[in-house]
Structure 1
Amino acid sequence: MRNFDLTPLNRATVGFDQITDLMDRVIRQDVSQPSYPPYNIEKSGDDAWRISVAVAGFSPDDIVIEQRENALIIAARKSDEAAAGKTYLHRGIATRAFERRFHLADHVKVTEATHEHGMLHVDLLREVPEALKPRRIAIASTQSKSAPAVDAATPETIDA
């Protein structure tokens, strides 16, 4: 695997530390990522997503969903007493414990989680605070500081 040095990118950007951290994390991750349980990520709107995880054999009581800062953690553990007393001739449905982590962007929140037909659906929504939304800045003229500026949209008459 190649090693990439991202320090030149850090010198040329201001305030994009999260992007470089994300790129660094992706580059350094092992190639052998866990594949259990399988999942889908779908975009359901401009600022909305849905993560669907296949959790066959798990009840909603066995699954824990947590959001910590910019991480979504989905974990499940099947109780040992559920399998006690059963003898399997073939066991193809894996109900082993798992923990799946998803890194979320800023202001992405979990809005809902549902469990149906062996699938866990977690709906996400980005809610950018009003203070962080773009706003237009008026440019002041420096030519005549003493004279009040006249708005072109509301003409005023000058009495002689």
Structure 2
Amino acid sequence: MSNVARHPRPPEIADWSLEQIMERYVGKFETRTADWNAFSDASIEGYRRGQYRFVGAGASGKHDDASIVPAGNFTLSIMEVPAGQGNAPHTHEVEEVFFILKGRCVVFVEDEEGNRLSEELGPWEMISCPAGVIHGYQNDTDEPCFLQVMLGRGKPEVAGFASQELFDRREAHLSDKS
């Protein structure tokens, strides 16, 4: 008895063998290295975090490399957030999900007037941040936090930091692809 694929493969892999598909579309943590300079705010105390890219480049602006699974309609990465660190308030043109894998962190949303609502999340809890809503997270514990981050576009724009100073650093950061 044979199976029938009810949907066509994308043209770029239409003729690939199963071996080729597995080789290109499996990502293992052991093959990843944290990028501690993935974002223009990551060199600032309080915003230090490492990104392990799995699917697509995400909103870091970094290019995909051969070890990263090609992005179709979303990106996926793991963030390692040391104690006392987080990310700067920012927006995206698409939704962004923070799913806590290990540890605890405070997630927040805020408006242009500086009003902020926060909630502490732990393992297997998440927030989905709608497009255009200022959001972020902060690890206020003494332990590292690991969270899965997904963005709703295969090649999203670079994060739009709410701070004008951080927003202005984007171009310099994008020109340094290390």
Q: With a CA cutoff of 8 Å and minimum separation of 6, indicate the structure with the bigger relative contact order.
A: 2
Instruction: Report if TM-score (shorter chain) is over 0.5.
Output: no
**Higher Cα Rg: structure 1 or 2?**
1
Instruction: Give the TM-score of the pair, scaled to structure 2.
Output: 0.20
Instruction: Give the TM-score of the pair, scaled to structure 1.
Output: 0.22
